[in-house]
Structure formats: structure tokens, C-alpha cells
Amino acid sequence: MAWIASQEYYRVQRDISEGQQRCSVSERRIDLYHDRITTHRREFRLGHVFDISYRRIGGGIGMLYLHTSIGVFPYTVNTDPTLFIARFKSMPGEQTSE
């Protein structure tokens, strides 16, 4: 099944080894389907996602938040997620927007 909308996000991992800090960045995607939202490690049924919000931090970076029945999940983004959020909010279903 093809996704309806997709949003890139990234994860920064820092490791300290032999007294040196190493930083790695992994680019990933959040995909919106007719019945679910998937990320690199998680899958949320749309009925369990209450809202998606965005807060800009600065320098073109922001945090995308998935508000779900099991908690709020933050994702770091460096592109504007307005279209992704609008597509989610236009989906028929049990999710609500507040």
C-alpha cells in the first residue's frame, strides 16, 4: 500500500569511545498511510494518534510530535512538516485535533 504523505526526520547518536566523542546522523522517514503512521521503529494505528504538532526550535530545525494513546513521541526535523500535518488532519477517522 502506498503512503499518503511522508516526512523526513533524523536521529543524532553520540558515542564516546577511547576519550573521543563520535556523532552520527541517521536520516529516516515518517509515513502516513490510510490506516497507520510508521516510523523507523514504530507503527501507530491512526485511531491511536490523537494529534500531530510542530514546534520550531531555530536554525531551520524543529520538533514534530506525535500525540498518541501511549504517549508523545518527538522527532527532529529540518524541513517544514506543514503538508504532512495537514494530510493527517484531513484523514477521516478517530483522531482529533486540538
Cell output for 58: 531555530
In a domain, 47, yes or no: yes
User: What DSSP character marks residue 82?
Assistant: H
Instruction: Starting at the earlier edge strand, list the strands of the sheet with 36-38.
Output: 43-45, 36-38, 20-32, 5-17, 71-77, 61-68, 49-58
Q: Mean pLDDT over all residues of the chain?
A: 91
Tell whether 95 is covered by a domain: no
Percentage with pLDDT > 70 across the chain = 94
Provide the pLDDT for residue 93.
66
Query: Nearest CA to 32 among 19, 11, 93?
Result: 93
Give pLDDT tens digits for 32-61: 999 999 999 999 999 999 999 999 998 889
- Which domain, by its residues, includes 52? 9-89
Instruction: Please indicate, yes or no, if residue 72 is contained in any of the structural domains.
Output: yes
Question: What is the pTM (predicted TM-score) of this model?
Answer: 0.84
- For residues 74-92, average pLDDT: 95
Residue 3 lies in a domain: no
CATH number of 14's domain: 2.30.29
- 98 part of a folded domain: no
With a CB cutoff of 8 Å and minimum separation 6, the contacts of 4 are 32, 33, 34, 87, 91
Q: Give the total number of structural domains in the chain.
A: 1
